């Protein structure tokens, strides 16, 4: 496999790539966009930081590309949608620079409390401005944290050590987690209106862009202090400049900007009570080394078909969860393939139902396996990354339902497809025996038991004598061997569902003979 290291990462990370048998490493730092398009033509993976941009054109130029690994958190320089369409895993290293960013945030808070930067500048100019640079104290102040992920939690620990009260706003923060962290779970308005200090630790999205705008600043306490070491654009810079100049904001600190770097004549550079740093959040020796090593390890695991960690466009499972869900993955893919061939006339919706103990697991990877199986015969280059998108592009809705119990099975996975016109077809499977062998156990509500590793002849026929014999003779004349069969009778309708496990598919002549039989209502050959 060929690995392109497009930006400088830890030398230890590069050596980890080189130590893998069969890996060829290309170090191409500072490549132009045109050079990058040439370099990626036969690469399997790209490792980068923030300098290199992986655009839709780059993804299109790299037909073998499987993984893009960002040594760091932000992935603004990667077109994730294009990567997903191309079946490329995009991963980052969210933990490697957590402490570095939290400590920089607190450094900014301290510099916004005690005018260290301004006092230092005065000293270098020969002044002794003791009275001019009177500061404040963090103790007994209220800190509002927007975003309580890893970095927000680390900032919380440091704030509490300085005897600060912490108000936390995060749409995904639970009461129990807030209690464990020792913070007060708050609304955005409560943080804006009651905090003496506000620090941002959220991703930049359509919902968080300009979250702190002119209206927000107008509702803050007079003399509030505001900091952003997360993503540029969360704070409206024009509104911040106005609030700093008016005195509404006593001090602020920025490590990230709406445009990076800010223009040389940016008014941000002229404001005395604003401390600016050039995106240094991860710029410590420890963090740089950590993220380089982390991204190399993660990419190697993914390329070798092992656990995928910190992926942004597919489920990531820890080893224990992966071990639990793994036996079901083959079953899921086979059920998906079966359901597509059972209803090839067109599907509007796929409903996946999980019954029993399996509901206690993270079933999203299994849902992706079912989608992957559904696409196997009708699409190319399908994997867990692009399967959901490809299903969506076909206009098919996917629904996942979990139920604790089932009347006949301890665990069951059922795939229901709603066809155009309203017809519904179902296929169900489970794992059997000590070896947890995947088996198909229901077809359209009829109980059967057949292998998932065979060519299956599925019939719906009138429940009359001679059908099994007719099929046996017809297939025998066609030199097709029957390995096994399962029969399910429906006394109410007078029909039966028969499934024959075959060593090979019947010929067109045999198929025609079977379908023309007066008692046979439906005929389908399913290749698993």
Active site residues: 231, 260, 279
How far, in Å, CA of 518 to CA of 299, rounded? 58
Phi, psi of 152 (to 5 degrees): -60, -40
Q: Which residues contact 125 (CB under 8 A, 6 or more apart)?
A: none
Tokens read off for 182: 């020792």
Classify residue 373 as exposed, middle or buried by CB count within 10 Å of its CB (0-12, 13-18, 19+): buried
Residue with tokens 């600060």: 164
Residues 466, 269: Cα–Cα separation, whole Å: 90
Q: What letter does residue 78 receive in the DSSP assignment?
A: B
Cβ contact 286:266 at 8 Å = no
Whole-number Å distance between alpha carbons of 424 and 353: 14
Asked whether the beta carbons of 138 and 165 are under 8 A apart, the reply is no
Contacts of 362 (CB under 8 A, 6+ apart): 315, 317, 321, 325
Whether the Cβ atoms of residue 186 and residue 168 lie closer than 8 Å to each other: yes
Taking a C-beta distance cutoff of 8 angstroms, is the pair 227, 252 a contact? yes
Residue 259 token pair? 């445009």
Evaluate whether 355 touches 406 at the Cβ level (below 8 Å). yes
């Amino acid at each position: 496999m060929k690995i392109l290291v497009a930006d400088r990462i830890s030398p230890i990370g590069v050596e980890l790539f080189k130590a893998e048998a069969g890996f060829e490493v290309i170090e191409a730092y500072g490549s132009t966009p045109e050079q990058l398009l040439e370099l990626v033509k036969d690469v399997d993976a790209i490792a980068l930081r923030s300098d290199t941009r992986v655009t839709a054109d780059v993804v299109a130029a790299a037909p073998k590309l499987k993984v893009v690994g960002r040594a760091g958190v932000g992935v603004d320089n990667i077109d994730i949608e294009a990567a997903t369409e191309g079946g490329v895993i995009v991963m980052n290293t969210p933990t490697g620079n957590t402490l570095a960013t939290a400590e920089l945030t607190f450094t900014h808070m301290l510099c916004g409390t005690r005018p260290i930067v301004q006092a230092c500048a005065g000293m270098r100019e020969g002044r002794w401005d003791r009275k001019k640079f009177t500061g404040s104290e963090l103790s007994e102040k209220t800190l509002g944290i927007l975003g309580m992920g890893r970095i927000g939690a680390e900032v919380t620990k440091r704030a509490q050590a300085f005897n600060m009260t912490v108000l936390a706003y995060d749409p995904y923060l639970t009461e129990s987690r807030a209690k464990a962290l020792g913070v007060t779970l708050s609304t955005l308005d409560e943080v804006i209106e009651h905090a003496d200090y506000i620090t941002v630790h959220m991703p930049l999205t359509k919902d968080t862009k300009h979250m702190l705008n002119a209206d927000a600043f107008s509702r803050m306490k007079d003399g509030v202090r505001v900091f952003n070491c997360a993503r540029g654009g969360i704070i409206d810079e024009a509104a911040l400049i106005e609030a700093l100049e008016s005195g509404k904001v006593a001090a602020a600190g920025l490590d990230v900007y709406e445009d990076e770097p800010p223009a040389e004549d940016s008014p941000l550079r002229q404001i005395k009570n604003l401390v600016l740093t050039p995106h240094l959040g991860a710029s410590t020796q420890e963090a740089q080394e950590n993220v380089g090593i982390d991204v190399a390890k993660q990419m190697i695991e993914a390329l070798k078909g092992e656990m995928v960690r910190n992926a942004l466009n597919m489920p990531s499972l820890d080893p224990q969860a992966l071990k639990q869900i793994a036996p079901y993955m083959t079953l899921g893919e086979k059920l998906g393939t079966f359901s597509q061939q059972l209803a090839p006339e067109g599907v509007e919706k796929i409903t996946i139902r999980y019954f029993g103990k399996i509901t206690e697991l993270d079933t999203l990877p299994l849902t992706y396996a079912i989608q992957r199986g559904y696409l196997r015969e009708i699409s190319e280059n399908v994997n867990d990354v692009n399967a959901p998108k490809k299903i969506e592009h076909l206009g098919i809705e996917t629904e996942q339902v979990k139920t604790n119990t089932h009347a006949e099975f301890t665990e069951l996975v059922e795939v229901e497809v709603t066809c155009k016109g309203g017809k519904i077809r179902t296929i169900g499977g489970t794992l059997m025996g000590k070896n947890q062998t995947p088996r198909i156990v229901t077809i359209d509500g009829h109980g059967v038991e057949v292998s998932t590793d065979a060519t299956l002849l599925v019939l719906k026929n009138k429940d009359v004598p001679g059908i099994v014999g007719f099929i046996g003779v017809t297939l025998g004349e066609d030199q097709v061997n029957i390995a096994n069969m399962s029969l399910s009778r429906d006394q109410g309708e007078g029909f039966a569902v028969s499934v024959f496990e075959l060593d090979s598919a019947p010929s067109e002549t045999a198929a025609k003979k079977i379908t023309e039989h007066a008692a046979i209502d439906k005929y389908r050959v399913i290749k698993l």
